[in-house]
Amino acid sequence: MRHLLFLVLIAGVVLVCSVKQSVQAAPNQEELGEELQTFFVHYVSNYNAYLKDGDDLHIERAVKYYSDPTMALGWPPLAMPSSEVKTNITRALRSFKNKGVSLMKWTQIDVCPLSHNTAVASNVISRFTQDGTVQSELGATFMLAKGPDGWKIAAISLYKADHGRSLITCAHIDSY
């Protein structure tokens, strides 16, 4: 019985020490939030560049923000290879451009780092016409993973913008 108690005690100490060490090694939530804010700003800048000049190179750059494959969450969930992500982005941006959209801007970015290399974000993007009128809004929740090439969108779920407001309260980023 003593040996069992001793083993349980040692296992508990090892567990506490390993958790403490992993917490100390991870960047703080604010730093990760800033990294992810930059990620989303750069990501949408490719969409805006395409809306401005129609160059497909911007779509190629936008696809690099997605993991290969990327999970599209809906029913049924789909694992989309990067070629399908590119097709979907191209179709969407051409449609927006045809509807007079000239600018896309995050009007809400809520990010919650889960660890040093995973995060969840719930964002709202607004699409504006040339005269500044909001053409439409879309909510999106992202699961993100950080690998050797930086942050990537590993999974995405799209929905009406009003369904996503304040979905995550972990870390709201006020400036974009």
CA 150 to CA 66: how far, in whole Å?
Answer: 11
- Whether residue 21 lies inside any domain: the answer is no
- Whether residue 4 lies inside any domain: the answer is no
- Whether residue 41 lies inside any domain: the answer is yes
Task: Give me the domain span that covers residue 84.
Answer: 27-173
pLDDT the model gives residue 5: 32
- Whether residue 133 lies inside any domain: the answer is yes
CB under 8 Å to 139, separation ≥6 — which residues? Answer: 122, 123, 124, 158, 159, 160, 161, 162, 163, 164, 165, 167
Residue 94: which CATH number? 3.10.450.50
- Whether residue 17 lies inside any domain: the answer is no
Span 124-148, pLDDT tens digits? 999 999 999 999 999 999 999 999 9
pLDDT the model gives residue 108: 86
- Whether residue 3 lies inside any domain: the answer is no
- Whether residue 62 lies inside any domain: the answer is yes
User: Which of 85-95 are b and which e, b meaning 16 or more Cβ less than 10 Å from the residue's Cβ?
Assistant: bbeebbeebee
pLDDT at 11 over 50: no
CA 85 to CA 63: how far, in whole Å?
Answer: 7
pLDDT the model gives residue 168: 53
pTM: 0.77
- Whether residue 105 lies inside any domain: the answer is yes
Name the CA radius of gyration of the chain, rounded.
20
pLDDT the model gives residue 14: 29
pLDDT at 22 over 60: no
Amino acid identity for residue 15 in this structure: L
Span 158-170, pLDDT tens digits? 988 876 554 555 5
What domain count does the chain have? 1
What average pLDDT does this structure show over 68-82? Answer: 91
